[in-house]
A and B are shown apart, each in its own frame.
Chain A
Amino acid sequence: MQTRQLLLRVEGIVKAFPGLMALDGVSLDVRSGEVVAVVGHNGSGKSTLVKVLAGIYQQDAGTVALETMAGQTAELHFIHQDLGLVPALSAVENLNLVQASSGALAPLRTKGETRRARSLLSRFGQQFDVHAKVSELTPAQRAIVAIARALEGWAGPHNVLVLDEPTEALHKNEVDILFSAVRSVAGDGAGVIFISHRLDEVLDLADRVVVLRDGVKVADERAQDLDHGRLVELVTGSALSEQREHVRRERGADAVLRIRGLRGAVVDGLDLDLRPGETVGVAGVLGSGREEVPSLVFGADGGTSAEYLLHGRPYERRSAAASIRNGLAFVAGDRARFGSVPQLNARENITLPRLGAHRSRMGAISIRRERAEAARLAAVFDVKPARTEQRFGLFSGGNQQKIVMAKWLRNTPSVLLLEEPTQGVDIGAKAAIYAAVDGASAAGAAVLVCSSDAKELVRLCDRVLVLREGRVAAELSGDELTERRLVLEGYGLVDEQAVPHPSI
């Protein structure tokens, strides 16, 4: 393997965003015939790396160099998570978009194209109707069409194919189909970069695994030298420090919120009890139903439950407005779309859920009092700059989230529902948001945190429910609540790892 020809050399890539070092001197080599997996958690810098390679971002420092092999300079080809196919067109038509077999207005050579499409696709050992709409194919077949399209028009086999989280939507057996397609591409002499956060699958596929954490390359090892336990440690960086910062608090005995049999699109019969002052986490891989839970509890997106008791009384969730009146608060994960009105200013966003507070004579809002309250909250939640008349959309991600926290905690909710509370947020703002969550909890709110960040759950929560395929696979609390256990339970890897990895 070491003797193989180098195709891509990435050296010392640095990419910074305001308050965040997304990539800090990352280097990476890809050789002909090699599959290199790049793994890491959300925010580890994986997607920034792809965007730098694709030229979407300009790196602040470092170089990306493509080598020449057998008289051909390697090219970079990308398959992004959404595959970039046109769903309403057939496989043949999608393949043809890149390189039409005839002139722009000349009639299409249907027969020849069909033959060519079949021969391209047959390399991957999959038989399916090349004239069916892509939207009617299985996800794996779609991925293969995307790969075939990426291979279209390669001058030679020695190129680099970058697959960005291509297995997100695939079932296990479909993943196998995709993997054999990827291996066949590599077998022909291409180099493959495979971006994933699914630690369970990369060891099956990759020759080499590169682990990113907080923008730094922490490992670059041959896959055969790694096992799942070691990989989890590398990704979470938690082997050495399993110390929990979370402070336990006295909490009320009676649940403020009691739900039985909560059901949504994925969530399948979840039972939930939240006590005042208690912080409960929801973990799980993407697609486990984790991300659905807070909005289901809030009542924003339908969903049903066998029993829903709020303060011991049945509550039927009819609208967001009713839930807010009943003391629920929901910090949505997608800030720009669900968590705010970006075109309004910070003050207007903060007061929107409860505008009655500053009502003066004749039903008007007292702007003076509203400004005073917004300014006070901006100071409490450390919003920078503390310009409450600035449009929400112009604040940085972290400060937007602080404004969102201010907006909800202003209502002193009895139940605080958080979805990815620190997504796209820099370290400093993270601390402020954790402080806000702790503050709400100390004030007696019951807090529910759904997060893909295991470290965050360990930091914030008293106990964590780990979901797998819509059901609770494990509940962790006390000493069991570690990043390592969360990740292993999320992937269902615990049984394979009967002997726990020796901790140092």
Chain B
Amino acid sequence: MTTTRDPETTPDRHPIGDPGAPGPATASRGAVVARLLSFRNISAIYIFIAIFVVFAIWTPQTFLTAGVWRTLLDAQSVTALAAIAALIPLVTGSFNLAVGAEVAFAGILTAWLLARADLPVTVSVPLALLAGALIGLVSGLLITKVKIDSFIATLGMSSILLAGVAWVSGSQQILDLGQGLNELATTSLLGVTLPVYILFAVAIVSWYVLERTPVGRRMYATGFNPDGARLAGVNIARMQIGSLVAGGVVAALAGVLLTSRINTGDPTVGPSLLLPALTAVFLGSTQFRGGRFNVWGTVLAVYVLAAGIKGLQLVGAPSWINALFNGVALLLAVGLSRWERTGRRAGAIRRVTSRRAAAVGRAGR
């Protein structure tokens, strides 16, 4: 998908026509810190602070309680995992619109294996993760071998998976899962539940692979320019398939945790995660890494959005405010980074052309 590597959405750190801007070789420490703390680099953190201050003043008795934050952290861990599952293929340039359906499928499958097939948790959960990997593999093969556009391939996969969910569950909730699975979600350590730790473990591994290893470098290269990456020796099909498999496993993990939290196989929850997950990925790409899709931006975006929505709920806003808040935040963040960029570029071009015209004028004399 070309949308994912649109250079226009990618704020650059060293604009053209700004030769005075210090490069990393010459930059003073102060300039580096200033750039790192600049609004455009970490706007979500400033927005988070703003949200925190507003609601802390507005409704301190509820917003400032530890329980609210603990629930927020726990409840959003599934969304954040779904967002990482969408992020990994996007790095290689593949949309995964099946993320929500993958979550739902793995969740229902886990419930079915526990309740209907009477398998223990230690078998059910790995099987669900394996199913996620297989689904990712099929999507990856459809995209790379059958050459179906990722948007269409994963849309089709999503529909097929939802059919599978309805079939397995009979469109009913699956109950009586026993206690084993539920412990996964309810166990807590230092006041924080296990899913949060799982999320951060997945985030750290994803970050490490994407940003620190040759594989990650090749994945970004594939996403930005598949032709150029291929001619530089990158096996782009392997990168795309691998990213969809990894994304499938992470989505399945989210599905397992979802089922574990509500201790029920619910066929309706997973699909609704797609939009918030994608929103967080795109919002996150405006953070930290100058326009690249990245793990920490994504995780941060999930929690900033959730904090805003939580605050609004606490002051009594109607429930449709969630979707409205998500949409407005995404459009504002991406729109602002683009607007700032075009403004700066126009300024840079003006400076260059006026300088050149002056030079030509001198040469003409």
Determine if chain A interacts with chain B.
Answer: yes
A393 to B230, CA, bound (A): 18
Which B81-98 residues have C-beta < 8 A from chain A? Answer: none
Flag whether B234 is at the interface (Cβ < 8 A). Answer: yes
By secondary structure, the B interface counts as: helix
Flag whether B344 is at the interface (Cβ < 8 A). Answer: no
Asked if residues B231 and A332 are in contact (CB atoms below 8 Å), the reply is yes
Q: How many residues of B contact A (CB 8 A)?
A: 38
Asked if residues B228 and A341 are in contact (CB atoms below 8 Å), the reply is yes
Q: Please classify how large the interface on chain A is, using the bins under 10, 10 to 19, 20 to 34, 35 or more.
A: 35 or more
Asked if residues A60 and B214 are in contact (CB atoms below 8 Å), the reply is no
Asked if residues A320 and B214 are in contact (CB atoms below 8 Å), the reply is no
Kindly report which residue of chain B lies nearest to residue A354, judged by CB atoms: B233
Question: How distant is A356 from chain B, measured CB to nearest CB, in Å?
Answer: 7
A263 to B364, CA, bound (A): 52
Which A379-416 residues have C-beta < 8 A from chain B? Answer: 385-387, 389-391, 393-394, 407
Q: B230 to chain A: which residues have CB within 8 Å?
A: 300, 320
Kindly report which residue of chain B lies nearest to residue A59, judged by CB atoms: B360
Kindly report which residue of chain B lies nearest to residue A370, judged by CB atoms: B217
A340 to B231, CA, bound (A): 8
Asked if residues B232 and A341 are in contact (CB atoms below 8 Å), the reply is yes
Flag whether B282 is at the interface (Cβ < 8 A). Answer: no
Question: How distant is B212 from chain A, measured CB to nearest CB, in Å?
Answer: 4
Flag whether A112 is at the interface (Cβ < 8 A). Answer: no
Flag whether A427 is at the interface (Cβ < 8 A). Answer: no
Asked if residues A321 and B360 are in contact (CB atoms below 8 Å), the reply is no
A330 to B10, CA, bound (A): 28
Cβ 8 A contact of B360, one of A61, A330, A344, A363: A61
Kindly report which residue of chain B lies nearest to residue A342, judged by CB atoms: B225
Cβ 8 A contact of A355, one of B14, B214, B291, B357: B214
A61 to B220, CA, bound (A): 44
Question: How distant is B296 from chain A, measured CB to nearest CB, in Å?
Answer: 17
Question: How distant is B258 from chain A, measured CB to nearest CB, in Å?
Answer: 31
Cβ 8 A contact of B5, one of A343, A359, A389, A390: A343
Proximity string of chain A (159-181) to chain B, C-beta cutoff 8 Å, 1 when within and 0 when not: 00000000000000000000000
Asked if residues B220 and A364 are in contact (CB atoms below 8 Å), the reply is no
Kindly report which residue of chain B lies nearest to residue A407, judged by CB atoms: B232
Flag whether B235 is at the interface (Cβ < 8 A). Answer: yes
Asked if residues B221 and A344 are in contact (CB atoms below 8 Å), the reply is yes
Known: A348-B217, A364-B212, A390-B23. A353 touches B233 (CB 8 A): yes
Flag whether B229 is at the interface (Cβ < 8 A). Answer: yes
Asked if residues A359 and B214 are in contact (CB atoms below 8 Å), the reply is yes
Q: B15 to chain A: which residues have CB within 8 Å?
A: 394
Kindly report which residue of chain A lies nearest to residue B19, judged by CB atoms: A385
Cβ 8 A contact of A320, one of B5, B217, B221, B231: B231
Flag whether A10 is at the interface (Cβ < 8 A). Answer: no
Which A312-355 residues have C-beta < 8 A from chain B? Answer: 319-321, 323-325, 330, 332, 337-344, 348-349, 351-355
Which A88-145 residues have C-beta < 8 A from chain B? Answer: none
Asked if residues B360 and A14 are in contact (CB atoms below 8 Å), the reply is yes
A330 to B14, CA, bound (A): 28
Cβ 8 A contact of B221, one of A341, A356, A363: A341
Q: B220 to chain A: which residues have CB within 8 Å?
A: 341, 344, 348
Flag whether B335 is at the interface (Cβ < 8 A). Answer: no
Flag whether A365 is at the interface (Cβ < 8 A). Answer: yes
A324 to B357, CA, bound (A): 45
Which B317-365 residues have C-beta < 8 A from chain A? Answer: 356-357, 359-361, 364
Known: A319-B235, A348-B217, A352-B232. A389 touches B23 (CB 8 A): yes
A248 to B221, CA, bound (A): 39
Which A3-18 residues have C-beta < 8 A from chain B? Answer: 14, 16, 18
Flag whether B120 is at the interface (Cβ < 8 A). Answer: no
Asked if residues B227 and A337 are in contact (CB atoms below 8 Å), the reply is yes
A342 to B360, CA, bound (A): 30
A14 to B361, CA, bound (A): 10
Flag whether A474 is at the interface (Cβ < 8 A). Answer: no
Flag whether B112 is at the interface (Cβ < 8 A). Answer: no
A414 to B276, CA, bound (A): 51
Question: How distant is A382 from chain B, measured CB to nearest CB, in Å?
Answer: 15
Q: A351 to chain B: which residues have CB within 8 Å?
A: 217
By secondary structure, the A interface counts as: mixed
Q: A320 to chain B: which residues have CB within 8 Å?
A: 230-233
Asked if residues A16 and B356 are in contact (CB atoms below 8 Å), the reply is yes
Asked if residues B225 and A356 are in contact (CB atoms below 8 Å), the reply is no
Flag whether A375 is at the interface (Cβ < 8 A). Answer: yes
A156 to B23, CA, bound (A): 58
Q: B360 to chain A: which residues have CB within 8 Å?
A: 14, 16, 60-61
Q: B224 to chain A: which residues have CB within 8 Å?
A: 341-344
Asked if residues A375 and B25 are in contact (CB atoms below 8 Å), the reply is yes
Flag whether B16 is at the interface (Cβ < 8 A). Answer: yes
Q: A394 to chain B: which residues have CB within 8 Å?
A: 12, 14-16
Known: A60-B360, A341-B228, A386-B25. A364 touches B213 (CB 8 A): yes
Proximity string of chain B (12-46) to chain A, C-beta cutoff 8 Å, 1 when within and 0 when not: 11111001000111000000000000000000000
Asked if residues A342 and B7 are in contact (CB atoms below 8 Å), the reply is yes
Asked if residues A389 and B19 are in contact (CB atoms below 8 Å), the reply is no
A338 to B356, CA, bound (A): 31
A298 to B356, CA, bound (A): 41
Q: A389 to chain B: which residues have CB within 8 Å?
A: 13-14, 23-24
Cβ 8 A contact of B23, one of A323, A325, A339, A387: A387
Cβ 8 A contact of B229, one of A60, A319, A341, A385: A341
A298 to B230, CA, bound (A): 12
Asked if residues B213 and A387 are in contact (CB atoms below 8 Å), the reply is no
Question: How distant is A124 from chain B, measured CB to nearest CB, in Å?
Answer: 40
A12 to B340, CA, bound (A): 38
Which B217-272 residues have C-beta < 8 A from chain A? Answer: 217-218, 220-221, 224-225, 227-235
Flag whether B208 is at the interface (Cβ < 8 A). Answer: yes
Kindly report which residue of chain A lies nearest to residue B14, judged by CB atoms: A390
Known: A344-B220, A352-B221, A365-B214. A385 touches B23 (CB 8 A): yes
A65 to B357, CA, bound (A): 21
Known: A16-B356, A343-B7, A389-B24. A356 touches B214 (CB 8 A): yes
A364 to B224, CA, bound (A): 21
A290 to B229, CA, bound (A): 24
A14 to B23, CA, bound (A): 33
14 pairs of residues in contact across A and B, judged by CB atoms under 8 Å:
A16-B359, A18-B356, A61-B361, A320-B233, A321-B235, A341-B228, A341-B232, A348-B217, A348-B220, A352-B218, A355-B214, A365-B214, A389-B13, A394-B15
In addition to A339-B231, A386-B23, 9 A-B residue pairs with Cβ atoms within 8 Å of each other are: A16-B359, A60-B357, A300-B230, A321-B234, A353-B232, A355-B217, A389-B14, A390-B14, A394-B15
User: Which residues of A approach B to under 8 Å, CB–CB?
Assistant: 14, 16, 18, 60-61, 298, 300, 319-321, 323-325, 330, 332, 337-344, 348-349, 351-356, 359, 363-365, 367, 375, 385-387, 389-391, 393-394, 407
Question: Which 10 pairs show the lowest CB-CB distances between chains A and B?
Answer: A387-B23, A355-B214, A321-B233, A343-B224, A324-B233, A364-B212, A60-B360, A341-B225, A352-B232, A390-B14
